[in-house]
Copies of this chain bind each other. A is one copy, B any other.
Amino acid sequence: MSGSELSYYRAIDQCTRSLKNLEACLDKAETYSAEKKFGVEVLMAGRLAPDMGGFIYQVQSACDYVKGAAAWLSGQVPPRHEDHETTIDEVRARIRKTVAYVESLIEPQYAEAATRRVKLSWAPGKAIGGEDYLLQVAIPNIYFHIVMAYAILRHNGVGVGKMDFLGPMNFVDA
């Protein structure tokens, strides 16, 4: 690999890690609701505006963009995951199912990522190249929905901090 280019595989892997970090925020949501003596389903139904998707929708969308990015960039058709989650345990399971799918793909499958053309259901008749798809569609959408899920918890008082969102980073001694 040359010094000036990035790996598609690693870019997707980091998105998957960000989903795992969101799963850890679910534990904080559960603890908080127990401490404050309300049902955690209140947080699962939380939203920032009445005409905006709630917490579970944000997680489902983040999962689907991660799954789609991994699939299309590695030459697969993404498996369909139905949006039937209503409980926190089902939300956890949705994240784990997504992570398991992405982790079933191996680096050589991304070899042609840059030259693939991706079609999206919300852009009929159009396609987008692999690099533009990753940078302009996948990454912004994945982080949009993960951050919005985080924001809903934070707005409702859950003690999640930026480091919960960022998760582990590969720092070394300087």
Q: Which residues of A contact B (CB under 8 A)?
A: 1-8, 10-11, 14, 17-18, 48-49, 52, 110-115, 117, 119, 123, 125-129, 131-132, 134-137, 139-141, 143-144, 147-148, 151, 154-155, 157, 162, 165-166, 169-174
- Min Cβ gap A28→B in Å is 14
Whether the Cβ atoms of B144 and A165 lie closer than 8 Å is yes
Oligomer copy total: 2
Whether the Cβ atoms of A112 and B172 lie closer than 8 Å is no
Distance of A172 Cα from B2 Cα, bound (Å): 29
Distance of A170 Cα from B123 Cα, bound (Å): 12
Distance of A166 Cα from B123 Cα, bound (Å): 13
Whether the Cβ atoms of B4 and A111 lie closer than 8 Å is yes
Whether the Cβ atoms of B154 and A18 lie closer than 8 Å is no
Selected from B3, B11, B48, B123, the residue in CB contact (under 8 A) with A151 is B48
